[in-house]
Amino acid sequence: MLLQLDKPVRTYIDSLHSMDTEIQQAGNVDQAEEEMSWLALRLVPGLGARVAMRLVTAIGSASGVFRASPTELEALQVSSHVVRNIAAGTVFEEAIREAEKARQLGASLISIRDAGYPALLKEIFDPPLLLYARGDTSLLGAPSVGMVGTRKPTPYGRAMAQRLAADLAMRGLVIVSGLARGIDSASHQGSLEAGGKTIAVLGCGIDVVYPAENKKLHAAIAEKGLLISEFPLGSFPAPQNFPIRNRIISGISLGVVVVEAAQYSGSLITARLAMEQSREVFGVPGSITNRYSWGPHVLIKQGAKLVQDWKDVVEELPATVQESLSTSVSSDATERAGKASLLAESLSAPERAIYDLLKVEEAVHIDAILDGLPKLSSSEVLANLLELEFKNLVRQLPGKNFVKTF
């Protein structure tokens, strides 16, 4: 079936490309139609990425799929209900509306044939036909490392994720994660706080904030990093979406670091996919009594690289990537580290006593702090804890628990 574009649709396609002339050259219009056809293919009910790519390869173009007759499509072993969905033409109208919503959101649509599509992602078994992107799309071509883990990390796991993400980001690597609560959020935050770049791969539409508590982080990544998803705008974060999006986290990364993961964690799905995609896999060890250490420890037993600091990750990357990375932290990062060190050295006696009592790997309850510092009144302890929080040397956790930051 040949899909005829009427004048309003063609006018709209012209506007998508911000063309100033009233009359477009035929080649430009054809290119716009081809780009819209990739979006339409993504929206065809029942049509998967692999079958869609087989059709495009056989016919020669995405727009050609919509021009093909039902007989031609069926000859390519496409199921009858998918053929009907393609032939109906309504999906193209839906694509027009979807593209307009993306434009209003300030998002980009990157098809698998687009020059900006991640080269590493094309190598996987079932790359997505199209990516919705909001933010700095140049990050898709930068060297990156995935970081994943449990949604319920220990203080140690959260601190390690933030520290490792910051150290890697300061040396030029883009941190890729899934914007879930827990290790994902800590990894994104560590990268941004270090002045680095991060990519969030979502299991919903890029216009959907999930989880709700990550609203500020979602906005910060859109501004300073990149949000991507293969799911249409407005897509609900259904449970089945997250294992699907995991292949993108590993697919665009040179390697994947697992910080904390229980036995049946989705992070282990990402690690398995990374192995299948011939990516490097890393594990951050933890306490043998912590059930969230099970995943990284099993991966290390199976050959994953044990990670103690950023150097353990960088030394496994390709030589060309290592050469392109900064061998030392940026001047801003050095300045931040210097300030943190000076802060720790300039603490008052009560602040120093509280700071020394706290731990990185384990939260300490306020009652334990008061018991450990009998010479200080409760008001003095609370006031000094607040000062330490302002100096970013201590973090308060729910339930009046406190941990020392790195």
pLDDT digits (tens, 9 = 90+) for 92-146: 899 999 999 999 999 999 999 999 999 999 999 999 999 999 999 999 999 999 9
State both tokens at 141. 């071509």
Q: Is 80 exceeded by the pLDDT of residue 198?
A: yes
Q: What is the pLDDT of residue 6?
A: 41
With beta carbons less than 8 A apart as the criterion, state whether 66 and 5 touch: no
Dihedral class, residue 250 (left if φ above 0, else alpha if ψ from -120 to 50, else beta): alpha
Q: What is the pLDDT of residue 257?
A: 98
Angle at 359 between CA 376 and CA 382, to 5 degrees: 30
**Please, which pLDDT band fits residue 398 given cuts at 50, 70 and 90?**
confident
Q: What is the pLDDT of residue 345?
A: 63
State both tokens at 139. 């990050």
Q: What is the pLDDT of residue 363?
A: 87
Q: What is the pLDDT of residue 344?
A: 56
Q: What is the pLDDT of residue 347?
A: 86
From residue 61, alpha-carbon distances to 37, 48, 128 in Å are: 9, 16, 16
Signed CA dihedral, 246, 248, 251, 256: sign only: negative
Q: Is 160 helix (H, G, I), strand (E, B) or coil?
A: helix
The predicted model scores a pTM of 0.82
Of 83-92, 96-105, 361-370, which one has max mean pLDDT? 96-105
Q: Is 90 exceeded by the pLDDT of residue 325?
A: no
Q: What is the pLDDT of residue 194?
A: 93
Q: Is 90 exceeded by the pLDDT of residue 255?
A: yes
| Lookup result for tokens 């910060």 | 220
| Lookup result for tokens 């392109």 | 324
In terms of Cβ atoms closer than 10 Å to its own Cβ (0-12, 13-18, 19+), residue 49 is: middle
Average of pLDDT values for 364-370? Answer: 93
Q: What is the pLDDT of residue 73?
A: 92
Q: From the centroid of its chain, how far is CA 268?
A: 16
State both tokens at 9. 């649709």
Q: Is 80 exceeded by the pLDDT of residue 153?
A: yes
Q: Is 50 exceeded by the pLDDT of residue 31?
A: yes
Q: Is 90 exceeded by the pLDDT of residue 191?
A: yes
Average of pLDDT values for 299-313? Answer: 96
Q: Sheet of 305-306: strands edge to edge?
A: 108-111, 130-135, 226-229, 198-201, 174-177, 144-148, 255-258, 280-283, 305-306
Written as one string, the DSSP assignment of 153-221 is --HHHHHHHHHHHHHHHHTTPEEEE---TTHHHHHHHHHHHTT--EEEE-SS-TTS-SSGGGHHHHHHH
State both tokens at 59. 């016919």
State both tokens at 220. 């910060």
Averaged pLDDT of the chain: 88
